[in-house]
Amino acid sequence: MIETVRVGMAEYKVAKSPSVLVSLGLGSCVGVALYESTKKIGGLAHIMLPDSSLSSKKDFNPGKFADTAIDMMIKDMVKNGVDPRKLIGKIAGGAQMFQIKSDSNIMQIGRRNVEAVRSKLALLNIKIISEDVEGNFGRTIEFDCETGELTIKTIGHGIKKI
């Protein structure tokens, strides 16, 4: 029986086949799916912000930031027997949900999240094999640990599998 594992905002989870990891309502947030096909183990992070360096240490949540969530998720995947050199990545989200009348990069959280995720995965030598990012619409994603397929559901844009 397929188990559905919910991944909330600022969380990451790791699961084995036949589980499906699901994250609802990605706006400017980015969903990062990592997968190791021989063991059929996947991880999904729902990243809110690009960089933890500006965070207050008091309520620090590593699942919230691109630079820390990916590291923690990989650590959990390795504990489950994954070889990090075999990981591949898929990403979705990073939308600009509201019209902004400024060229300031600080307000473009979606784009900054996508850039931070790409940079972190490149630093770790994890290839992004497919993505569905930016735009101005939200997404719900489902990552199938059996097949490694990422399903992206959007209102007005239908369903896409990558």
The residue to which tokens 């075999």 are assigned: 86
The residues assigned a catalytic role are 29
What span, in angstroms and rounded, lies between the C-alpha atoms of 60 and 80? Answer: 25
Q: For residue 32, give every residue at least 6 positions away whose Cβ sits within 8 Å of its Cβ, in sequence order, or none.
A: 12, 43, 44, 45, 47, 66, 69, 70, 73, 89, 90, 91, 117, 121
CA separation for the pair 155, 91 (Å, rounded): 18
Contacts of 97 (CB under 8 A, 6+ apart): 27, 28, 110, 136, 138
